[in-house]
Amino acid sequence: MNEFNENLTEALEFTAAFTPEAFPTLCQHLDPRWIDEALLTTGVATMRRRRLPAERAVWLVLGMAVLRDWSITAVADQLELALPARDGTRTVAPSALIQARARLGADPMEVLFTRAGEEWGHASADRQRWRGLALYGVDGTTLRVADSVANRAHFGSQEAGGDRGVSGYPLLRAVVLMAVRSHLLVSAAFGPYTVDERTYARTLWRSVPDASVVLVDRNYLQADVLVPLMTSGRDRHWLTRAKSTTAYRSIQRLGTGDELVELAVSSEARRKDPALPTHFDVRAIRYQRKGFRPQVLLTSLLDAKRFPADEIRALYHERWELELGFGEIKTDMLERLETLRSKSPGAVAQELWGILLVYNLVRLEMERIAG
């Protein structure tokens, strides 16, 4: 096991051992005021005394993310979440825990994750800039969800092809905006598997700050995806790899294997979005790794003096950090137990927001452990 995995395992084991009242590892990173704000903003704050008030239901969801193979009752008991009954006991019935989760809903967890993710992720990206730009990446993945009628109807399944039917589990599609050099998640969007990931990605552009560059997969090379990213902010850029079918017109040679080119916007794209231009300029940078075929990088980083081609070639390979981040979530954190336990779409959303938030907390704890 490498040093990273050892640190991640240590962080997970360390954080799982404490109750919320004595939970320094997580609480030191998660401002309790953010929980209160999330509950108030979404109108979920507990107005009358309950044994499991809303703020403790939040910790229940976070506990479920850490103790993946524990029952919800065992999680609540381990973390002593329920307020004491008249006889002093803290045990609550499973039905009461289910009701507490239902009262909480998914919205407060989304607000809490987004509040924390933007705070931590942007600060991290700001500390580790490249050529004055904060560095981010966007990519998608899938997760299995519990095979219930409600989940299958909402999320859909992958077609197996031919007469083989569909996948054994309903599938959820998720897209994240990550601060690449720290792996901290800034924002996320997810939902039915049948929705194209680029549709989810477009909703994340509002979280991208000015003076930044976003690394994306070549399947994102579409005007309706990338033009809004460039034009809805100041000094916002993207970097991707060209497809074998990508066509462009050369405008100006900038250096060896480096030129300014023009990409045309299809009439179909402009029909769907009349605000799109007829074409837009990008930079095409050729490179070849030993033993591999030549490739072309396309980017909105047009200034060859400010952004040297050799540095852009090296920068693109940091996109692999997104795959490492997904591996940390699926393999190291969820231990490949990546079927979300919740049996309704709303509960699935609540659970996943909790998992993504705990992942960020663990990343912060790893940084603390590493010193």
Confidence category of residue 15, pLDDT binned at 50, 70, 90: very low
What confidence score (pLDDT) does residue 21 get? 41
Confidence category of residue 1, pLDDT binned at 50, 70, 90: very low
CA dihedral 65, 68, 73, 77 (to 10 degrees): -70
Average pLDDT for 172-176 = 96
- Tokens (6 digits) for 190: 């997810």
- Find all residues with CB under 8 Å of 259, minimum gap 6, and list them: 250, 251, 252, 253, 283, 284
Q: What burial class does residue 118 get, using C-beta atoms within 10 Å of its C-beta: 0-12 exposed, 13-18 middle, 19+ buried?
A: middle
Task: Flag whether pLDDT at 48 surpasses 90.
Answer: no
Q: How far is CA 335 from CA 4, 9, 25, 69, 279, in A?
A: 15, 10, 21, 10, 46
Average pLDDT for 278-291 = 91
**Percent of the chain residues past pLDDT 90, beyond the cut:** 61
Average pLDDT for 65-94 = 77
Q: Whole-angstrom Cα distance, residue 179 to residue 214?
A: 9
What confidence score (pLDDT) does residue 91 get? 72
What confidence score (pLDDT) does residue 20 get? 41
Confidence category of residue 187, pLDDT binned at 50, 70, 90: very high
Task: Flag whether pLDDT at 115 surpasses 80.
Answer: yes
The mean of the pLDDT values for the chain is: 86
Confidence category of residue 297, pLDDT binned at 50, 70, 90: very high
Confidence category of residue 26, pLDDT binned at 50, 70, 90: low
Beta partners for residue 185, in sequence order: 178
Average pLDDT for 52-78 = 86
Q: What is the pLDDT of residues 196-235, one digit of tens each?
A: 999 999 999 999 999 999 999 999 999 999 999 999 999 9
**Residues present in the chain in total:** 371
- Tokens (6 digits) for 48: 């009358």
Q: Give the global pTM.
A: 0.89
Give long-range contacts, CB 8 A cutoff, 24+ apart: 314-317.
315/130, 315/135, 315/213, 315/215, 315/239, 316/215, 316/239, 316/241
Higher pLDDT among residues 41 and 165, named by residue: 41
Higher pLDDT among residues 76 and 133, named by residue: 133
Amino acid identity for residue 263 in this structure: L
What confidence score (pLDDT) does residue 157 get? 85
Using the Cα atoms of residue 39, residue 42, residue 48 and residue 52 in order, give the sign of their dihedral: negative
Average pLDDT for 5-31 = 53
Task: Flag whether pLDDT at 165 surpasses 80.
Answer: no
What confidence score (pLDDT) does residue 160 get? 62
What confidence score (pLDDT) does residue 69 get? 78
Average pLDDT for 275-285 = 94
Q: Whole-angstrom Cα distance, residue 236 to residue 309?
A: 18
Average pLDDT for 80-107 = 81
Q: What is the pLDDT of residues 301-358, one digit of tens each?
A: 999 999 999 999 999 999 999 999 898 888 777 766 557 889 999 999 999 999 999 9
